[in-house]
Amino acid sequence: MGRGVHIAARIDTDTLLNHPEQAMQTLSLKIFQRRQELLNELCHTRVTFLDNGETRSGIVDSIDGKSVVIRDNKRKYKILLRSIVS
């Protein structure tokens, strides 16, 4: 999960100089949109995750906020998103 992503937004110079809060809001929106795209790409892919200090592997079933449901053979795990290592 350590790959880099590029996030860019075109912002008018007048907006940047006179209304920087609007520029920040535009960038923030772009960040959340890209995050959602990455989460969507993660669904139905095989990942490695930590479960009580043990490394396991499974396929992502769903992502809900900060938690992920992963299935491994017949068992399902609900873990925090940050527990995914690859």
Q: Within this chain, do residues 56 and 79 fall inside the same structural domain, yes or no?
A: yes
Instruction: Give the separation between CA 51 and CA 48, rounded to whole angstroms.
Output: 10
Kindly report, residue by residue over 34-61, the tens digit of the pLDDT. Answer: 999 988 999 999 999 988 888 999 999 9
pTM of the model: 0.74
Token pair 């809060």 is at which residue? 21
Kindly report, residue by residue over 57-77, the tens digit of the pLDDT. Answer: 999 999 987 899 999 888 999
Residue, of 85 and 76, whose pLDDT is higher: 76
Q: Within this chain, do residues 19 and 58 fall inside the same structural domain, yes or no?
A: no
Range of the domain at 85: 43-86
Token pair 């993660």 is at which residue? 42
Q: Within this chain, do residues 57 and 23 fall inside the same structural domain, yes or no?
A: no
Q: Within this chain, do residues 50 and 18 fall inside the same structural domain, yes or no?
A: no
Q: Do residues 79 and 70 touch, judged by C-beta distance below 8 A? A: yes
Q: Within this chain, do residues 85 and 51 fall inside the same structural domain, yes or no?
A: yes
Q: Within this chain, do residues 4 and 20 fall inside the same structural domain, yes or no?
A: yes
Q: Within this chain, do residues 9 and 28 fall inside the same structural domain, yes or no?
A: yes
